[in-house]
Structure formats: C-alpha cells, structure tokens
C-alpha cells in the first residue's frame, strides 16, 4: 500500500499519522516501523519522523493484527517461580512470532505452559531478550510486568551476564580480544545485519580462545550489548565467521543445524528477591557432533 502525504499532515509524526490512517494501535505501528516494514520515499525512518508534503509512504505489512495461539511444544525449563522462568531453547525454534513465523515459536509454547506472562509487545509476551532461531541455549522469561520492567533495565545497564561458545573458521592467534563495532541493517539485504556507521547501534563483543584446531577455533563470547546477530556479524567482520552459518558464512555450511553458537550461561539478580542466580547448560548433541569433526580434522 502506498500513501502520499498531503499538506494537511505536514509535520505530523509518522507513527501518529499511520495509527489514525490505518486505525491501528501506536504500538503496532511502531513495531512495524522498527521492523523496516514502513518506508518513506524508499528509505527506512524512525517512528518520530516528521512528514513532509508529497512524501510517499510504503506500507508493507498485514493490516490484520495476528492473535497468538497456545501450542503444546515441549519446553526445557531450568528454573521457574511466580515471577520468572529460565528455559533452554533448542536450535531451530524461533523465539517469537514475526514475519514468516506466525506459529511454532517459543512464545506459543510458553503460552501453553502458563497463563502468566508479562505484557510486552503484542506478539512477545514474556520475552525480555532473544537469541537467533538457530542458536541454542538459555533465555530468561518474565511472568509479570514488574519483573519484565526490572529485567529490561538490568539488561540496559549491563547487569545481566551472558556467555556463549562458538566455533569459528580459521585459527585465532591472540588469546582474547574485544570487538567494538556498531551494527545496523544491511543496506542490500534487510534480513541481514552488518558493521556500519549508518543507522547503527553500538555493539561490543568480548571473546577468548578455549581451544584451537587445525582450521578452526572454539571460543567463548561475552556480550556487553545485545544486537541482532551480534556475535555472528562481529566474528565475520574480523575474518572468523561462525562455522555452519547459513547467512554470514554460506561457503562453510555442513548441514542444516545452523550456526555453531550456543548460549551456555546466564547470570542475573532475581528481579524481586535480588538473589544472584546463574545457570549453565551443555551444548546440544548436534553442536558437539560438528565440533568433534573439526577436532579430528
């Protein structure tokens, strides 16, 4: 759908205008703008963009707001109380519904398991942070709005610690390193991210070598920020893309398991009791099978 702005709507915020024009909630419109589903004169803009006369707005999303359904999908729950959950997400499971994934997500499974999930965005109840579809490992879930708000602030203040293991291409010579490079949408492919100074956000990844093999390196990654595809983009940026990554290392895909990345540790203060809690989980069988291939090659 294309909408051309007339002089009556000059200087009106983009999100306010579309909310009225399409009869949708501001939060729904803001989400679509954030996802890149709204373009002004062919470019992505922020939700507070001030409209100009003759601006052309491209609306590329369904006008039907989806209703989430409960699905009986098995959950690997490491911890649960009345405020939070810690779950081990398998590789291949999307965290929340979105474009192309309306069902069979972690959110659908959580809704089947409990009626008590925090109200964040309409399609993300309980979700405080995310990991990619093909990344396995630990996720912290909020069951109340109070817990969600406190945990969100803790994430922003870098008080929640997350550690990953990854198998990357090539031998890394240094024992540890720090990648400080901003990440934004790939200008040629909006499903990908890239290191760029344009329309980007700060991103910092620390890594240390666990073990070196003939043509690869097993590393531990500790995030200071949580950008989409952060570890995958940063390691590719320094010339050591993740093994089996179908997006950022297409030449080295072994099977359909996905990138060799596992979120094995999370540590945080409980949002209500303030008790420090930490959890670790072993990598899945498929991860270890690929790892053994590279150990023995």
Identify the pLDDT of residue 97.
Answer: 75
Whether 186 is catalytic = no
pLDDT tens column, 63-108: 665 578 899 999 999 999 999 999 999 999 988 877 666 788 999 9
At residue 28 the predicted structure's pLDDT band, cuts being 50, 70 and 90, is: confident
Average pLDDT, the chain: 91
pLDDT score at 151: 94
The pTM score is: 0.75
Q: Do domains 2-59 and 77-295 have the same CATH topology?
A: no
The domain made up of 77-295 has a fold known as: Pseudouridine synthase (3.30.2350)
Span 136-142, average pLDDT: 96
Share of the chain above pLDDT 90, in %: 70
Of 25 and 186, the structure prediction assigns the larger pLDDT to 186
Q: Which of 22-26, 43-47, 50-54, 260-264 has the lowest mean pLDDT?
A: 22-26
Mean pLDDT, range 7-27, rounded to an integer? 91
What mean pLDDT do residues 200-220 have?
97
Residue 283 has pLDDT above 90, yes or no: yes
The most distant pair of C-alpha atoms in the chain lies apart, rounded to whole Å, by 69
Q: What is the pLDDT of residue 62?
A: 66
Which of the residues 15, 55, 132, 245 is marked catalytic? 132
Q: Which CATH class for the 2-59 domain? A: alpha beta
Q: Where are the domains positioned within the chain? A: 2-59, 77-295
Strand order in the sheet with 43-44: 2-4, 56-59, 38-40, 43-44
């Amino acid at each position: 759908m294309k909408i051309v702005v007339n002089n009556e709507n000059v200087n009106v915020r983009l999100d306010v205008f579309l909310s009225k024009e399409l009869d949708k909630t501001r939060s729904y419109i803001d989400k679509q703008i954030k996802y890149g589903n709204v373009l002004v004169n062919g470019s992505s803009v922020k939700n507070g963009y001030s409209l100009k006369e003759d601006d052309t707005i491209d609306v590329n999303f369904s006008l039907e707001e989806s209703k989430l359904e409960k699905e009986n999908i098995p959950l690997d729950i490491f911890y649960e109380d009345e405020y939070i959950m810690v779950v081990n997400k398998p590789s291949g499971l999307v965290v929340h519904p979105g474009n192309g994934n309306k069902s069979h997500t972690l959110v659908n499974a959580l809704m089947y398991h409990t009626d008590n999930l925090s109200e964040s965005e309409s399609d993300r109840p309980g979700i405080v942070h995310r990991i990619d579809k093909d990344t396995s490992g630990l996720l912290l879930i909020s069951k109340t709005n109070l817990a969600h708000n406190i945990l969100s602030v803790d994430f922003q203040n870098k008080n929640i610690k997350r550690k990953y293991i990854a198998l990357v291409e090539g031998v890394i010579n240094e024992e540890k390193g720090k990648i400080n490079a901003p990440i934004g949408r790939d200008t040629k492919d909006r499903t990908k991210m890239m290191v760029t100074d344009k329309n980007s956000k700060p991103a910092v990844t620390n890594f240390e070598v666990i073990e070196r093999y003939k043509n690869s390196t097993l590393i531990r990654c500790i995030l200071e920020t949580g950008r989409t595809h952060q570890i995958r983009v940063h390691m590719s940026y320094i010339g050591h893309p993740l093994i089996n990554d179908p997006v950022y290392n297409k030449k080295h895909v072994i099977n359909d398991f996905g990138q060799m990345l596992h979120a094995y540790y999370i540590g945080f203060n409980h949002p209500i009791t303030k008790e420090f809690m930490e959890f670790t989980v072993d990598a899945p069988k498929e991860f270890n099978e690929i790892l053994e291939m590279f150990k023995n090659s």
